[in-house]
Structure 1
Amino acid sequence: MKTTARDVLLFVPNLIGYGRIILALVAFYVIKTDYVLASSCYLLSGLLDAFDGHAARLLNQGTKFGAMLDQLTDRAATACLLVTLASFYPDYAFWFQMSLALDIVSHWMHLHVSLIGGVSHKSIGLEGNPIMRLYYTSRPVLFVMCSGNELFFAMLYLLNFTEGPKVEMFDVGLARLVMYISAPIMIVKAAISLIHLVDASTRLAAIDAEERSKAK
């Protein structure tokens, strides 16, 4: 049976992706007025990111559209949260701006190179970069990196409103404790984004060089 564009748009992983977008929209609509609903919707949207990939593999419904939808949803959601954090913590606005710029530029370059090469963005750089290979071939590592990064920024958001229930063992609020624990993961994730950017830039330059050599 022939697969149509409508079929692709209605693949299960893409339906999950649309749900993620709706949750993100709700989160950012109430982000300054209802931190419980906002954080719940934001974290649930991020959690569903793992399920759409699982559904794509299980149902053999991986598509270029789905990969693009997933990437754009991730980047847009993180960008919106960072914009909010910059308004909550103006003294640290520069660092939120740098984090936002690195996140968007590195992933855009990486995905662009993967589309030019006709392979998954999760396959680019695996043969020559051990960090990228570990990051994309170990699902536990990928989950910890992505979830830890999101938790750090989500906890910063919550701390603008509440410390959360106190953890007596550490004499600190739960939100602050999770922020401290996830901070190193956020830093490592930023370093991986930088590697993304350098690796993809090098590969794109190599594609340019090869095309120019063929033209001659």
Structure 2
Amino acid sequence: MPDTNVFLFYPNLIGYARIVLAIWAFWVMNHAPLQAVFLYGLSAALDAFDGWAARTYNQSSRFGAMLDQLTDRCALLAINMSLCVFYPSSAFWFQMSAVIDIASHWLHLHATDLTRKASHKQSSNPILHLYYTDRLFLGFMCGANEAFYMLMYLRAWYPGPSILGVHLMSIFCVLAFPFAFVKAGISLIHLATAAQTVVDHDVATILGQSQVKSN
């Protein structure tokens, strides 16, 4: 008999560990930056292992997918909230980063459920198809995106030595920024394609209801 205790699936146990680590990171984020970055980074790194566990033990679940997405979205939201405090003049951009990330992934998951796809990683859009099917590309983009926000957070505490008048941590942030920018662009593609999917579903529903009435 197959295991039906979804709450205790191995990937979901990893997901719970990610949540604990993330909350711990949030707790120390305003006074222990190195500890916060370690905990936050470890939580983010474990994201690669829950998917591996799901595939290895055949324990994929909608609950696990939702848990994974919620953890990612809430973690990024939390670090953006901190960055708004450390960089008040750039608060708008950090707010928009969080809004785009949350809105796009929420609508994408909703569109997946509407179309009854087995996974939110199935997409006919060529960019999203590459994003989700090439694990190296997916892992690199997610890792580089998280690195940008962690570097920005660290920069507020430890600017690093100055090189030609520019602090080392600022250089690292500049190098990581293009990847975060591209990741935001991919999120906007998520948003646009998911919106189209939901609208297509609405149109099909309206036409179906109209046909029933005409009959």
Cα distance, 1:167 vs. partner? 9.8
CA distance in 2, matches of 1:32, 1:41: 13
The count of aligned residue pairs is: 209
| Preserved CA contact (<8 Å) 1:113 1:200 | yes
CA distance in 1, matches of 2:184, 2:21: 25
Runs of 4+ in structure 1 over 2 Å off: 175-178
Cα distance, 1:208 vs. partner? 0.5
Q: Give the TM-score, by structure 1 length.
A: 0.92
Equivalent of 1:163 in 152, 159, 164: 159
Cα distance, 1:62 vs. partner? 0.5
What residue in structure 2 maps to residue 25 of structure 1? 23
Whose radius of gyration is greater, 1 or 2?
2
SS in 1 for 2:46: helix
Instruction: For structure 1, list consecutive stretches of 5 or more residues without a partner in the other structure.
Output: none
Kindly report the root-mean-square deviation, in angstroms, between the aligned alpha carbons of the 2 structures: 1.8
What residue in structure 2 maps to residue 204 of structure 1? 198
Q: For 1:88-107, list aligned pairs within 5 A.
A: 88-107=86-105
CA distance in 1, matches of 2:16, 2:133: 26
Aligned: 1:188 with 2:186 = no
Equivalent of 1:10 in 8, 11, 18: 8
CA distance in 1, matches of 2:140, 2:95: 23
What residue in structure 1 maps to residue 81 of structure 2? 83
Q: Deviations over 1:128-157 (max 9, x none)?
A: x21111111111110111111110011000
What residue in structure 1 maps to residue 213 of structure 2? none
Cα distance, 1:212 vs. partner? 1.0
What residue in structure 1 maps to residue 67 of structure 2? 69
Q: Give the partner amino acid of 1:183.
A: F
CA distance in 2, matches of 1:133, 1:182: 23
CA distance in 1, matches of 2:37, 2:51: 22
| Preserved CA contact (<8 Å) 1:151 1:178 | no
Aligned: 1:108 with 2:100 = no
CA distance in 2, matches of 1:178, 1:134: 27
What residue in structure 2 maps to residue 121 of structure 1? 120
Q: Percent identity?
A: 46
Q: Deviations over 1:107-137 (max 9, x none)?
A: 00000110121221110x3x2x211111111
Q: Give the TM-score, by structure 2 length.
A: 0.92
Q: Give the partner amino acid of 1:122.
A: K
| Change in CA separation of 1:58 and 1:2 when aligned onto 2, cut-off 3 Å | closer
Q: Give the partner amino acid of 2:136.
A: P
